Structure 1
Amino acid sequence: MIASLPMAELLVGVGLATPALALVACFSQLVRERIWLLLALIPLPALAAAIVALLVLGQGDIANGEVAAIALLFDPNGLAIGLVIDRPGAAMLGVTALLWAAAGLYAAPMLQASSHRSRFTLFWLLTLTGSLGVFIAADLVSFYLFYGLVSLAAFGLIAHDGTVFARRATGLYLLLAILGEIALLLAFALLSAASPEPSLAISSLVAGLSGSPWAGPSMALLLLGFALKIALVPGHVWMPLAYTAAPFPAAAVLSGAAVKAGVIGLIRFLPFEAGAPAWGELLVVLGLSSAFYGVAIGITQRNAKTVLAYSSISQMGLIAAATGSALRAGESAAVLLLTLYAAHHLLAKGALFLGLGVVADGVTRRRWLVLMPAVLVGLGIAGLPLTGGAAGKLALKPLFDTALLGLLSALSAAGSTLLMLHFLRRLWVSGDAIEPCASGVFRRLLPWWLMALAALLLPWLLLPWLGLGAAQTWLALSLSPADLWKAVWPVLLGALAMLALWRWGERLPRVPPGDMLILGAPLTRLMSAVGAGIEALDRGLRQWPVAGLSLLILSLLIWGGALNAY
């Protein structure tokens, strides 16, 4: 065997330990002042772990009872605490680590000129640790710890610029993130209380969900918590503000990797095997509503970062709708299809934010170096044939198994085409009147090209690793006349709609980022109050040793306290 099980187990542990150890090392002033130079290297052990894990899992036939997952567990009193990496977890871990590495490379020139790079690096490493760990957490406590890290530590990335807009975005983000955390904590408590065995293993608790006396409240709380994370309407209002406020490398990892914590949450905690038709229908409705709402508001935006944020709302809605369809039908095998689509979106959206940064930061005056790959990556989100997005769209096709769902899915692809063409237009003009950047040109262009290439090719390469079949088979299927036409006509329709937008788009109303917030003045005042608190907290966090020690102790206390509760 080229890849062995012990090697995979070792790399999984090392991959997750590396960012955590980097955080501990930051207590040294010497390390703290220089570790930003290593941000591109810190995720690489996790990337290696994911590749080896996929190779190990691919050597056996899961259906015949061979290796289905790689586990690193300790089992006090049968609690089954630790890490488990299966095919969905390995795939998401790998693409997430790749994006964090590329964004870390892009961030280095930005941080070189920043007076707050130590603070930014702290929150970067905290969010990175949670972002990697959430995909391989095997128990409630570990999942909640990593999920909390990726959700709450991200506020430091959003607030980095320190502007009034950034503080407002951070206040709203934290408000809804905490609401989501509370919902999940209550859901996890209900899951544990209903379990006939004293186990914290996610798989065991979900298996008993259908027979739980609190199945309804548990499902409602789970959907609320994860819906807020993936920005389903009406809980989407944080996303346009947060992505617009965050620096480009931070926006790339937040839109690509961090939001996928909600997707893996849906995959891990929803009872696909037992099925839940009513909850599945609700998720389909919420998802499709978000898919079309994101397009409708996105085309009114003029800031390219905000356009990408509304595109993410639309795409997360489509993932939610596909998840709901699988939940309604009780299709447990659908998690692999959902994983493929989510992996492509992670790569594509992360790439587009980096590409936008290349233009907006004045890295190169040759905007065609960005625009040409961006056209392929952007239209790939809509399912353009031969792109990585075509594989993702083909994966979702079996989940939209009725004529109505199939039509709505195709129309959402047309909407995605329209929104991506609108983004490309804003991308082109965003570099006007920008002075060329004098330093770090290659270190910013390289991650953009790397992520663009990954978004176009990796989804096809993931097919056999996910056990979905050979890439050649899927490619041939996508190029069959019937499937080719199904992929092309939504793109053509979206292009026609773009011509209309180009002609009459100036007549559209200007909807501010966050849209529904204009209806809630009291919420705006609350956000301002939270923002003022964030500013005070921000001043405190500049005292680095105190901040790092406090956050580390708080994380350990939460984890240890949750264990003691059992």
Structure 2
Amino acid sequence: MTLGEVLLVATLAVPLVTLVLALSSGSHRRTTILLVLAAIPALLTALFAESGTTVVLPQALLSLVLSLDLPGRLLLGAAALLWIATGAYAVLSRRGRENDNPFPIWWLATMTGSFGVFIVADLVGFYLFFTLVSLSAYWLVVDDGAPPAKRAGAVYVSFALLSEAFLLLAFVLLAVATRNDSFLIRDAVAAISTSPLRDPAMAFLVLGFGIKIGLVPFHVWMPLTYASASIPVAAVLSGATVKAGVIGLIRFLPFGVPLPGWGETLTALGFVSAFYGVLIGITQTNPRTILAYSSVSQMGLIAAVLGMGLATGNSITPAAAAFYAMFHILAKGGLFLAIGVAQKTRHRTEWTVLLPAAVVALGFGGFPMTGGAIAKYAIKSPLGDGGVAMLAMVSAAASTLLMLHFLRCLRASRSHETRTTSAAEKSFIWLAIAVAVVALPWVLYPAVIQASAHDALSFDALWKATWPVLIGVLLFGVLGRAPGILPMIPPGDIIVLQSWAWSGAKALGDATERIDEYLRRWSIAGSLLLVVTLALIGSFYVGR
């Protein structure tokens, strides 16, 4: 086997072997350090394995096909970095806990699924790892056993199962449409574009992956989950595991053939989510919840990019979308770590958190020279130069507004507790991720997009990146001068309002049933019948 093939296999084998060790070990100290080490092979694969490297596993392992392409490499590398950083953060956070063994087990299982979806190349393997990353994460969400976490976990797993059900239907249709009984994803995608089963298969794919990335109205699990999970769990959920849906759309949508109808539908769903996430996010005060709605918005933008690429048959779309998603993995995961660090930061040292957090956060609006600026420049080609491109710029202004609101709430959330050694180590982890968020997109842009990064530094490009940010700053100033103008919308918005409506409907139903029981008494019913009869007779004479 070549080095690339060995690394590709080790990407999944090492976390799985580590998982077995965690299951057989009764010592918390011997397992928590493995949370960091288990992700290193995935990072090495992204760095050193050549694109196109393919391995077919033995029949005992379902003959799964592992393969590395450019989108998978980008997402695998960024996810591995985040898993390493959050693993170290989790070790520091859980230091001294007894009977903590279930946490490493579910952490490693979720990690394995997260890496698997980026490198598997067949339908069976993709569904297996997609299910693993989705369901294992449930146990991380409910880890502390608190009622809010249990409620969030119930909502999360319900949507996860619904997503998997839609994808199972889609994969069955893909398998039926594929010739030669091939289960390779590329063969299924090539066959579905001309198959009579194309439209139902596309519908199930968009629904299944749309739920995973939180497209409106399937987004409600995000704010509930990210606000209730622990900091390291929220970081990997928002950064890494949600990208199972992004790589799914990249892998299974037939970008080689223009599909205007489905492309425009996905674009519309994406922009609805992009703006909805901001509109609800600016009504929140919990930094975690704000980041959750920011994820709804950013995943919507990625969906819009993929939709435009699907509508026009733009071949660069998968690489451009994966490049932007790579930035999102590190930026969003890093900002969750920043929340945890800020909670232990005193007033005189708050700049060490807030300044890098501002650079990372404003990257979502495309602030010049940030990692987000070059990431947004990378998606210009699929979005084009028309009305959709203008919507993307308005979305950048809205993201700037939301991130400024996040920074204000982050500053308010800092604590006055004594800074500990653990807090200092967590700060180092957060700052390392912040540096990666800014530097990596600029370093990788020429190789991924096959263009010079100097184009993004032209006066025209800088101005187009600056004016949406300025509008976002202006809107933030206007809202800051009008406190209380925004409504108080509970996290989870639609599902919470539905719960209220259900409670109200139940109360109304109970009242109606009591009234009906009361009216069944003969004296009241007889009186009402007499009134109705007299009214009918009166109307008859008036009509004459």
TM-score calculated relative to the size of structure 1 = 0.86
Letter matched to residue 9 of structure 2: G
Q: 2:65 matched to which residue of 1?
A: 82
CA gap 1:150/1:522 in 2 versus in 1, 3 angstroms = farther
1:52 equivalent in alignment to 2:48? yes
Bigger Rg, which one: 2
- CA 1:80–1:204: 2 relative to 1, 3 Å: farther
Aligned: 1:509 with 2:492: no
Taking only aligned residues, the RMSD between alpha carbons, in angstroms, comes to 1.8
Distance (Å, rounded) in 1 between the aligned partners of 2:34 and 2:41 = 13
Tell me how far apart the structure 2 counterparts of residues 228 and 414 of structure 1 sit (CA, whole Å). Answer: 25
1:199-238 equivalences in 2 (<5 Å): 199-238=182-221
- Report if the CA contact (8 A) 1:311-1:416 is conserved: yes
2:527: which partner in 1? none
Q: Aligned ranges for residues 280-295 of structure 1 at < 5 Å?
A: 280-295=263-278
- Cα drift, residue 443 of structure 1: 2.5
Give the drift of 1:469.
2.7
Pair 1:137–1:197, CA change in 2 (3 A): same
Residues 422, 31 of structure 1: alpha-carbon distance in 2 compared, 3 angstrom cutoff = same
Q: Which residue of 2 aligns with 1:538?
A: none
* Per-residue deviation, 1:504: 1.2
Q: Is the Cα–Cα contact under 8 Å of residues 220 and 493 in structure 2 kept in the other structure?
A: yes
* 8 A contact 1:517–1:524 mirrored in 2: no
The equivalent of 2:128 in structure 1 is 145
Contact 1:25 1:32 in 2 (8 A): no
User: Which AA in structure 2 matches 1:461?
Assistant: V
Question: Does 2:474 align with 1:496?
Answer: yes
- 1:321 to 2:304 alignment: yes
Query: Which residue of 438, 442, 447 maps to 1:456?
Result: 438
Say if 2:25 and 2:31, in contact at 8 Å, map to a contact too: no
Q: Following the alignment from structure 2 to structure 1, what is the Cα–Cα distance between the partners of residues 95 and 392?
A: 44
* Aligned partner of residue 83 in structure 1, secondary structure: strand
Letter in 1 for 2:298: Q
Q: Does 1:252 align with 2:242?
A: no
Aligned with 2:255: secondary structure?
coil
Cα pair 2:346 2:414 within 8 Å, conserved: no
Report the Cα offset of residue 24 of structure 1: 0.8
Q: Distance in 1 between matches of 2:23 and 2:221?
A: 32
Aligned position for 2:450: 469
Alignment match, 1:135 = 118
Q: Distance in 2 between matches of 1:31 and 1:143?
A: 33
Aligned to 1:119: 102
Judge which range, 234-243 or 30-39, deviates more: 30-39
| Aligned-pair CA distance for 1:349 | 0.5
> Which residue of 318, 331, 334 maps to 2:314?
331
> Match of 1:13?
9
Aligned with 2:244 (options 249, 255, 261)? 261
Q: Is the 8 A contact 1:391 1:459 kept in 2?
A: yes
Paired residues of 1:365 and 1:436 also in contact (CA < 8 A):
no
Local SS of the residue matching 2:94:
helix
Cα deviation, residue 18, structure 1? 0.8
Residue in 2 that maps onto 1:303: 286
SS of 1:144 mapped into structure 2? helix
Q: How far has the Cα of 1:25 moved from its partner?
A: 1.0
Tell me the CA shift for residue 480 of structure 1.
1.2
One-letter code of the match for 1:408?
Answer: L
Q: Which residue of 1 aligns with 2:510?
A: none
Give the 3-state SS of the residue equivalent to 1:435 in structure 2. Answer: coil
Residue type at the aligned position of 1:458: L
Residue in structure 2 matched with residue 341 of structure 1 by the alignment: 324
Question: Alignment partner of 1:332: what SS?
Answer: coil
Cα distance, 1:506 vs. partner? 2.2
* Structure 1 counterpart of 2:89, from 106, 109, 124: 106
2:23 is paired with a residue whose SS is coil
Whole-angstrom distance in 1 between the partners of 2:257 and 2:472: 38
- Which residue of the partner structure matches residue 521 of structure 1? 499
2:34 is aligned with 1:41: no
Q: CA deviation at 1:75?
A: 8.2
Residue type of the alignment partner of 1:511: I
The answer to whether the 8 A contact 2:83-2:111 is kept is yes
**2:390 equivalent to 1:385:** no
Deviation at 1:325, TM superposition (A): 0.2
Q: Which runs of 4+ in 1 moved over 3 A?
A: 30-33, 113-116, 361-365, 522-525
Query: In structure 2, do the counterparts of structure 1 residues 522 and 356 end up closer, same or farther at CA, with 3 Å as the change threshold?
Result: closer
Q: State the 1:442 CA deviation.
A: 3.2
- Tell me if the contact between 1:105 and 1:443 (Cα under 8 Å) persists in the aligned partners: no
How far, CA to CA, are the matches of 1:139 and 1:459 in structure 2? 29
Aligned to 1:446: 428
Contact kept? 1:358, 1:364, Cα under 8 Å: no
Q: Secondary structure at the match of 2:434?
A: helix
Residues in 2 aligned to 1:361 and 1:132: alpha-carbon distance in whole angstroms: 32
The verdict on how the C-alpha distance between 1:41 and 1:413 changes in structure 2, with shifts beyond 3 A counting, is same
Deviations along 1:191-235, whole A, 9 cap, x unmatched? Answer: 111212111100001100012221111000000000000000000
Contact 1:80/1:200 (<8 A) preserved: no
Q: Return the offset for 1:32.
A: 5.2
Please state how far the C-alpha of 1:361 moved relative to its aligned partner.
4.2
Q: Secondary structure at the match of 2:67?
A: strand
Contact 2:366 2:372 in 1 (8 A): yes
Question: What does residue range 57-68 of structure 1 map to in structure 2 within 5 Å?
Answer: 57=51
Displacement of 1:364: 8.6
CA distance in 2, matches of 1:223, 1:363: 46
Is the Cα–Cα contact under 8 Å of residues 354 and 407 in structure 2 kept in the other structure? yes
Distance 2:27 2:188 in 1: 42
Alpha carbons 2:64, 2:122 under 8 Å: kept? yes
Matched, 1:26 2:7: no
1:175 aligns with 2:130: no
Residues in 1 aligned to 2:292 and 2:502: alpha-carbon distance in whole angstroms: 20
The 2-side partners of 1:16 and 1:523 are apart by 45
The answer to whether residue 160 in structure 2 is matched with residue 164 in structure 1 is no
Name 2:352's counterpart in structure 1. Answer: 369
- After TM superposition, the structure 1 stretch with the greater mean CA deviation from structure 2, 136-145 or 32-41, is 32-41
Q: Quick one: distance in 2 between partners of 1:379 and 1:116?
A: 40
Residues 28 and 98 of structure 2 are in contact (CA less than 8 Å); yes or no, is this contact kept in structure 1? no
What is the CA deviation profile of residues 352-372 of structure 1, one whole-angstrom value per residue up to 9, with x for unaligned ones? 111111012458961111001
What is the rounded CA distance, in whole Å, between the counterparts of 1:116 and 1:299 in structure 2? 40
**Match in the other structure for 1:394:** 377
Higher mean alpha-carbon deviation, 234-243 vs 504-513, is at 504-513
Report the count of equivalent residues. 501
- The question of whether the paired residues in 2 share the 8 Å contact of 1:248 and 1:353 is answered with yes
Q: Partners in 2 of 1:524 and 1:261 — Cα distance?
A: 33
Change over 3 Å in CA distance of 1:106–1:83 after alignment to 2: same
1:275–1:373 CA distance, 2 compared to 1 (3 A): same
Tell me if the contact between 1:191 and 1:205 (Cα under 8 Å) persists in the aligned partners.
yes
Q: What is the rounded CA distance, in whole Å, between the counterparts of 2:344 and 2:424 in structure 1?
A: 13
Specify every segment of 5 or more residues in structure 1 that has no aligned partner in the other structure, as ranges: 58-68, 526-566
> Which amino acid in 2 is paired with 1:496?
L
Whether the 8 Å CA contact 1:206–1:270 is kept in 2: the answer is: yes
Amino acid at match of 2:74: A
**Which amino acid is the alignment partner of residue 14 of structure 2?**
T
Question: 1:443 corresponds to which letter in structure 2?
Answer: E
- Code of the residue aligned with 2:477 in structure 1: it is L
Quick one: percent identity of the two aligned structures? 47
Deviation at 1:438, TM superposition (A): 2.8
Relative distance call for 1:508 and 1:455 in structure 2 (3 A) is same
